[in-house]
Amino acid sequence: MRAIIQERYGRPSRVLSLRDVDVPAIGDDGVLVRVVGASLNAMDWHLVMGRPILARATTGLTRPKQAIPGTDLAGVVEAVGSTVTELAVGDAVFGGRDGAFAELVAGRVRNFVRKPASLDLMAAAALPIAGVTALQAVRDHGRLVSGESVLILGAGGGVGSYAVQIALADGGRVTAVTGPATLDLVAGLGPQRVVNRAEQDLLAGTDRFDLVIDAGGFASNGELVRLLTTSGRAVVVGAGSATSAGLVVHMLDARLRTRFGPRPIMNFIARMTRDHLSALVTLVEAGHLTPAIGATVGLDEVPAALNVLVDGRARGKTVVEVRPA
């Protein structure tokens, strides 16, 4: 089978290549999925580049432990282990599993659920990490209450575009901030207000919000606090371009502000579960959530497409056509 392979850390176009590799094996509780579509996330380029360096303590100090990058995927179940009952050969599924930039991916039942009937497999591939992260930011950590005001920084990206839609579905009054290139995309998601960050700096203004979701590390902790109402809270998603030292300082500062101040700032790393994937299915089937796909690329174009993410030039979600549906 074909797969994108990484043997060292560095800029995606320099360290990734498309090669033929062996088909992965599955155990008695395993599931083998023939991948139709995958999608790119900020996490992918961070792992490919080994940044921040602290992350290499788990991903590999001098070279990546995982040779095939990627996590988000959707496809058709090709084989199941002898003890698997939740899924069957031929099921159309989506979910997350290391090694997604390949024609076949081996995982377990907990990694996948059946895709929403209203989405094709390419669109479903854009859901997992960004969708689950946005869901946890809005509900689990942001604890959004219907009627509250919500500010979403980075609304034109993968997580941000889902956060806008989930906040609206949960009754939030949403102000979405994005760059000039994604204004039309974000406006199409339906927020009450769209702000072009190139023309208006809300961070220096007088507007205050019950919930601020920073999808990409656009603001300092001090700026986030100033954006909050007296009972407000902020949720930070992603490390942005922070160095390891900068990230540690940012998180320690956020923890101190949360413990001793009236306005909490929460940092988190999303944990994907079947329950969260199923919640995304429910939102899609209710008409509240649609993947905002900005580009579609082939498997051989993954290195260049990840470069676009590194440079901050992506619109919405980038999906990878691994095998035609």
Cβ atoms of 147 and 302 closer than 8 Å: no
Residue 312's contacts (CB-CB under 8 Å, 6 or more residues apart) are: none
Could you tell me the pTM of the whole model? 0.91
Encoded amino acid at 87, one letter: L
Cβ atoms of 44 and 98 closer than 8 Å: no
Residue 40's contacts (CB-CB under 8 Å, 6 or more residues apart) are: 70, 72, 302, 305, 306, 309, 314, 317, 318, 319, 320
How far is it, in rounded angstroms, from Cα 159 to Cα 153?
10
- Single out the residue of 37, 18, 74, 119 nearest to residue 323, CA to CA: 37
| Domains of the chain as residue ranges with CATH | 2-127+291-321 (3.90.180.10), 129-267 (3.40.50.720)
DSSP structural state of residue 102: B
Q: How many CB atoms lie within 10 A of CB 280?
A: 24
Angle at 254 between CA 131 and CA 206, to 5 degrees: 85
How far is it, in rounded angstroms, from Cα 41 to Cα 100?
12
| Residue-by-residue pLDDT tens, the chain, 325 positions | 999 999 999 999 999 999 999 999 999 999 999 999 999 999 999 999 998 888 898 899 999 999 999 999 999 999 999 999 999 999 999 999 999 999 999 999 999 999 999 999 999 999 999 999 999 999 999 999 999 999 999 999 999 999 999 999 999 999 999 999 999 999 999 999 999 999 999 988 899 999 999 998 889 999 999 999 999 999 999 755 444 444 444 455 555 555 545 679 999 889 999 999 999 999 999 999 999 999 999 999 999 999 999 998 888 999 999 986 5
Alpha helix segments (H runs only) across the chain: 12-15, 42-49, 56-59, 121-124, 128-135, 158-169, 183-187, 221-226, 244-260, 274-285, 302-310
